Amino acid sequence: MMNDLLLIQEIERYLEGEMSVPEREAFEALRQSDPAIDRQVKEQQQLQQQLRATGQRRQLLSRMNAIHADMGTPVATAVPEPDPAPVIRLRSRRTWLNLAAAACIALVTSLSTIAIMQKASKKATTAQYEDVRRVLNNIQRSQNALIHNINSGKKAPVNPGTYGGTCFAISRNGYMVTNYHVVAGADSIYIQNNKGEAFKAVSVFEDVSSDLAVLRIADSTFHSPALPYSLKLSPVRPGEEVFSMGFPRDEIVYGKGYISAQTGFNGDTLAYQVSIPVNPGNSGAPLLDAHGGVIGIITGKQSTSDGIAFAVKSGHLKRLLDELPKDQFSRKDLKPYSQLAGVNRVEQLKRLEEFVYMVKVYN
């Protein structure tokens, strides 16, 4: 039996008159002896006739359109004709099976490639942003890390905790703000000041969308001095100097930088992009302008570049605080002006230390 592709080529040569006389006589003898080949020749001949007729109609329509254009009459449009049925038939069952197998392999390969690319893309995207809470499980505790629960007079858990971060006071009666990802899923929370004193705290309000959480010191008798800073709600322009204080280790650390963009990660309008060094443990730290106004809260950094951090704007914190019960949270403690304005940086840091705390979470 003649190969299918070779047979089609020979049929075309036969119909186009390209065969020599001996070849033509031999092919006609083959048609007479094999009805299937004869039927395929007739179908191919019918296809060619249809194609020629279609071409002739299109040529006629083109000439008519040209005449109509000269006469200024509307031009006729061609009515789409159905494509002629394919004539080439794969008569071998093995050929069908081979094509089906090839199609399946191609489909599986394509789907696998798409899945791998999507997975790689997802990994690349999530790797660009990371929070900066600190893992404490394997950290050696210093003397200051041996915290005590001042409220009960009992020792706090002796293990170093699961995660660490930073929080800062937003009222005189024990309300603090930090990042939601620092305290998410916590069994217990302790905060520690720069003197090594620790207080048990509870999360009273959480906003996952902005990654903020409000903590309250469990001791109802807790009372701190007047807050020296204010919440600055007006926009901060790129290039303005900012600074922060946090706990990337067991002592408070100062960092200085500037606003690099008025939007955060992926254009987030609720956050700033900041050029400032941050490390695990800085999550929840206050971001202040040169005059000591809190303009945001550090939330994370860009893992693919050094020195690029993000901070939720203080305006969003203000809206969150407005939702707290008025009989519990004293809004008047956050003054509309900062007492740190006009003070040199060393003195600013000295006054701030008392209001910035280390957060230790136990899961």
pLDDT digits (tens, 9 = 90+) for 290-332: 999 999 999 988 877 778 899 999 999 998 888 888 777 777 8
User: How far is C-alpha 41 from the chain's CA centre?
Assistant: 60
Give yes or no for residue 119 having a pLDDT over 90. Answer: no
Domain ends where: 110, 143, 163? 110
Cα separation, 341 vs 209, whole angstroms: 32
Residue 297 lies in a domain: yes
Residue 272 lies in a domain: yes
How high does pLDDT run on average in the chain?
Answer: 77
**Could you tell me if 106 and 135 lie in one domain?**
no
Q: 264 vs 140, 168, 244, 268, CA distance in Å?
A: 34, 21, 17, 5
For the entire predicted model, the pTM comes to 0.59
**Could you tell me if 87 and 167 lie in one domain?**
no
Name the residue range of residue 37's domain. 4-110
Report the candidate in 53, 40, 52 with the shortest Cα–Cα distance to residue 14.
40
**Could you tell me if 193 and 106 lie in one domain?**
no
Bridge partners, residue 242, by sequence: 257, 289
Bridge partners, residue 296, by sequence: 313
Percent of the chain whose predicted confidence (pLDDT) is above 70: 69
Angle 334-336-341 from CA coordinates, rounded to 5° = 100
Residue 117 lies in a domain: no
pLDDT at 159: 52
**How long a stretch of residues is the chain?**
363
pLDDT at 87: 36
Query: Phi, psi at residue 331, to the nearest 5°?
Result: -70, -20
Residue 196 lies in a domain: yes
pLDDT at 273: 94
Residue 310 lies in a domain: yes
Give yes or no for residue 219 having a pLDDT over 90. Answer: no
The tally of CA atoms less than 13 A away on the side-chain side of residue 112 is 6
Residue 125 lies in a domain: no
Band of the pLDDT at 124, cuts 50, 70, 90? very low
pLDDT at 76: 46
Please give the full DSSP string across 246-301, using - where no structure is assigned: E-SSSS-EEEEEEEEESS-GGG-TTEEEEE----TT-TT-EEEETTSEEEEEEEEE
Q: Give me the mean pLDDT over the 173-199 stretch.
A: 91
Residue 122 lies in a domain: no
Please give the full DSSP string across 26-85, using - where no structure is assigned: HHHHHHHH-HHHHHHHHHHHHHHHHHHHHHHHHHHHHHHHHHHHHHTPPPP-PPPPPPPP
**Could you tell me if 86 and 187 lie in one domain?**
no
**Could you tell me if 95 and 144 lie in one domain?**
no
Bridge partners, residue 34, by sequence: none
The CATH number that applies at residue 351 is 2.40.10.120
Domain ends where: 81, 110, 139? 110
**Could you tell me if 22 and 139 lie in one domain?**
no
Band of the pLDDT at 249, cuts 50, 70, 90? confident
Per-residue pLDDT tens over the stretch 17-75: 888 888 888 888 888 888 888 888 888 888 777 777 666 666 656 666 665 555 554 54
**Could you tell me if 75 and 18 lie in one domain?**
yes
**Could you tell me if 331 and 289 lie in one domain?**
yes
Residue 118 lies in a domain: no
Range in 88-92, 168-172, 285-289 with the lowest mean pLDDT: 88-92
The number of domains in the chain is 2
Domain ends where: 75, 110, 145? 110
**Could you tell me if 195 and 332 lie in one domain?**
yes
**Could you tell me if 245 and 359 lie in one domain?**
yes
For residues 8 and 341, which has the higher predicted lDDT (pLDDT)?
341
**Could you tell me if 356 and 241 lie in one domain?**
yes
Q: Name the DSSP letter for residue 355.
A: G
Alpha-carbon Rg for the chain in angstroms = 39
**Could you tell me if 162 and 52 lie in one domain?**
no
SS3 call for 212:
strand
